[in-house]
Amino acid sequence: MLHPTAIVHPAAEIGKNAEIGPYCIVGEHVAVGARTVLQAHVVVNGWTTVGEDCTIYPFSTIGAASQDRKYAGERAYTRVGRRTILREYVSIQRATGEDEVTSVGDDCLLLAYVHIAHNCVVGNGVTMSNLAQLAGHVHVADNATIGGHTGVHQFTRIGRHAMVGGMTKLTKDVPPFFLVEGNPCEPYGLNSVGLRRAAFTVDERNEIKKFYKLLYNPKFNVSQAIEAMKAQVSTGPGQEIVAFLEAPSQRGVLK
């Protein structure tokens, strides 16, 4: 399923029933999974793997050299999982550093003009709205949602099932399950809609709410809030919040 105007390197690996549309360019070190569709004017180059059953809309670029002064042409990778949809003008850039990786997981939806910079790790089921932008080394956990026109600072972490509202300038880590937005960014409670859709139990949601109140209690710093959480944690999501807060961070937690 190769359009005559597409340019596909003979060494590229194209899976069964994949479609390479008009004016697409597929480079030498690229693997495209079975049934994946590159609609038109899509460029995939570098050392890049695109999984099965993806749909990539026109003018998207995957695997281009990172926009990083440190990048010197070394072999670095870009990986996109299965069943992920990239809308128009999405850009996902290869990592900086020998054998380093920029990755986007399975079942993601990246809307038009989304940008994923070098060395980012985006989990499964992540949704990013139009013009959301990740700077280098950002980690986004599974099922997080990032609103349109949001800019995320380098090395920031966004936890699982977190929600970042549109037009946000995000410079600090967002714990899992919380809702934040604004410029400057502020916490606004739980990602309640997302938690209900994901079938979190009442007990789990109640503990997440309790831990949110502990973290943002003005009487506590982060360390004190963590100790208070440890004394009463009883659910998996509660343990996940504690682990996130205790993990190494270059940006610090939004407080």
Structure tokens at 213: 């109140």
* Helix 202-215 × helix 222-230 angle, to 10°: 150
| Residue whose entry in the numeric block shows the structure tokens 């966004």 | 158
Residues in the chain: 255
Q: Which residues of the chain have pLDDT under 50?
A: none
- Which pLDDT score, from 0 to 100, does residue 234 have? 98
Beta bridge partners of 56: 38, 86
- Which pLDDT score, from 0 to 100, does residue 19 have? 98
Which of 139, 137, 181 is CA-nearest to residue 158? 139
As a whole number of angstroms, the distance between CA 31 and CA 26 comes to 9
Quick: pLDDT tens for 153-186. Answer: 999 999 999 999 999 999 999 999 999 999 999 9
- Which pLDDT score, from 0 to 100, does residue 92 have? 99
As a whole number of angstroms, the distance between CA 74 and CA 65 comes to 10
Going from N- to C-terminal start, the domains of the chain cover: 7-192, 197-246
- Which pLDDT score, from 0 to 100, does residue 52 have? 98
- Which pLDDT score, from 0 to 100, does residue 160 have? 98
- Which pLDDT score, from 0 to 100, does residue 177 have? 98
CATH class of the domain at 7-192: mainly beta
- State how beta strands 185-190 and 127-128 pair: unpaired
- Which pLDDT score, from 0 to 100, does residue 190 have? 98
- Which pLDDT score, from 0 to 100, does residue 49 have? 98
pTM value is 0.97
